[in-house]
Structure 1
Amino acid sequence: MKGFTTKALHTFYKPNRDDGAIIPPIHLTTTFKFGNKGRYDYSRTVNPTRTILEQTLARLDNNTFGLAYSSGSAVLANIVALLKKDEVILFSSDAYGGTYRFIVNVAGNQGIKYKIVDLTDYVKTETILKNNNVKIIWVETPTNPLLKVVDISRLSKLAKKYKSILVVDNTFASPIIQQPSRFGADIVVYSTTKYINGHSDVIGGTLTTSNKELYTKLKFLQNAIGAILSPFDSWLTLRGLRTLELRMERHTNNAEKIALFLSKHRKIKKVYYPGLFTGEQKRITEKQMKRPGGMLSIEIKERYDVKKFLESLKYFPLAESLGGVESLIDHPASMTHASIPKEERERIGLSDSLLRISVGIENIEDLIADLKQALNKA
């Protein structure tokens, strides 16, 4: 199988002779009779519906193994649990607020060591790797919410040089637009709540890898910690996954047009979007991303009323999350990234005037008209 949607529809599951169901069933059972062909025993350990999702996502990432969890945060917690005493996790200064919150305020309080750096600064990154026992490098690309892109290949070479595990959060891009394993990522992670499910009705997370040793350790932790994705949520995520390629095309088509429109608007100070990048950021984008994606961030010029702009929008409700079929707008400083101290936000360029837009699949004419009328009122 070569095509993404073909893989999404036809990986692992085949209709059986007993009932011939085309769509995989939901296995709600908690326990299984011993001696079954699939060697299932208890649904926390393994469940047929979850297995189909895990195998499908691994295939889409060009990886061998997959694991599904109850949230993207649960994925992070399980990976951090790989760390032993005196081992360090390195992550980006421009990271999702929940990533910062867990590593600094939860794992950090339990004695886990961490370092924070701009992972697009490869000199500083190597200095930290050289002088610290970094076991895990956790990187988002594009980052949330400043949309910076990180050269995965370059970071992978550094990870191998210093014997670190490179984990790439591919949530913003999805496997349709970017496949980090092709550039040397050891583990690829997602909040499946976002594009992969795509309908804003399931919280979930996954990881994929081709490293059998890592998979074995993480499978043990998944079972031991128990933050697994339920059978019903696994089934809903599989349902959403079947249209991922089609949805990402529409998300990206709309985002490209909106980014261009906003970049020319007199009330907009700056647009953050991979499709508008120049220089080194453009080179990296073109090397590892098939298209720029459906996420962008903007800053409105100081003399205009941001609150009035937000209140005037009809099709961009102010809400957290992203990647659903509907458009959303978010104020990171007070919402998704509020757990990051203000001085740290300012240091990395995450201003209080920054707005993050998740572009949906609505008709583009309606979306641009809505942005235009709201900006007129700002």
Structure 2
Amino acid sequence: MTFQDLDLIEPIRKALTEEGYTTPTPIQAKAIPIILQHRDLLGCAQTGTGKTAAFAIPMLQILEEKQKTRHDKGPIRALILTPTRELAIQIGESFSAYGRFTNITHTVIFGGVGQKPQTDALRKGVDVLIATPGRLLDLINQGFVHLKQLEIFVLDEADRMLDMGFVHDVKKILRLLPAKRQSLFFSATMPPVIMTLADTILSNPAKVEVTPVSSTADTIKQSVYFVDKSDKNSLLLHILKDDSIATALVFTRTKHGADKVVKVLRKAGVTSEAIHGNKSQNARQNALKNFKSQTTRVLVATDIAARGIDVDDLTHVINYEIPNIPETYVHRIGRTGRAGAKGIAFSFCDLDEKAYLRDIHKLIAKNIPVVKDHPYSNGR
């Protein structure tokens, strides 16, 4: 199947061609026809499967085909709710790319920055609003956002939304939406609490599931290094001596830990930056921009930032610390090996993290190969 087989309108086909897209990923091939039929959708897809395009492309088509002569202050017709600033910006970039030859307008709103540019855009009128929950509720309360004429609602990364404590904000927003709408619900995992939330949002949905969260992409070569906690910095520097590693995304569990790793790397002459919730929005965006352009070789991130980091051709992910939630491991390493490309994932495991590693092995139903031949092996 190609995108040419999906009955897409010419402006979108043209944009996809310019983006170099020819073959849809499985989630795109399954979801796009369903959404174009105006049906509700429950989508289970892990990170890196092309999920954003799976809903952005058909949404643009539906809105474009229903587009009438509009006034400057037209109502918001579609809302995409997503948990992080980075992910919101990434989705906005996707709408810009796929919708460049349509008449559909969009804007992105999130917290941590001044609201005036966002409210200025809202005053002009937009078709599609991409938002994080806190800032959206804030602007609704101030009277800048009205959702009564909404046609399409998307809840993206629902499991991460709940992990971050946004469930009450999401429920408040749901109460403000018109009952008659098309709803799309995406989550990488489907525990009972997520299914309960989905049931309150969706009406007779079609279900699409690709690559269960318990699996990791076959294109990612995984390995684990057993190392004492005190030797992790030395091991990281040892690995980065390999010049073939052009860029590496390093994960820590805490913001403080990320900053400490960056300090060590910079002292050793490795260009690096941290990205986490304590950084200003401008600092986070600049760090991501520098990483994408390879001005910065190593980006050190916490899990909250994980799903918003979308970097083409990223070859290496390094788990400086093993995540204590096994699904998080799948999401972390899914930053590489995207859309069929090859990737490499290294994990550093100290004695206290062995239980976390066992949980990961159980989830992915295989043992990650151990690298024993390295100068900081603790022999365990």
TM-score normalized by the length of structure 2: 0.38
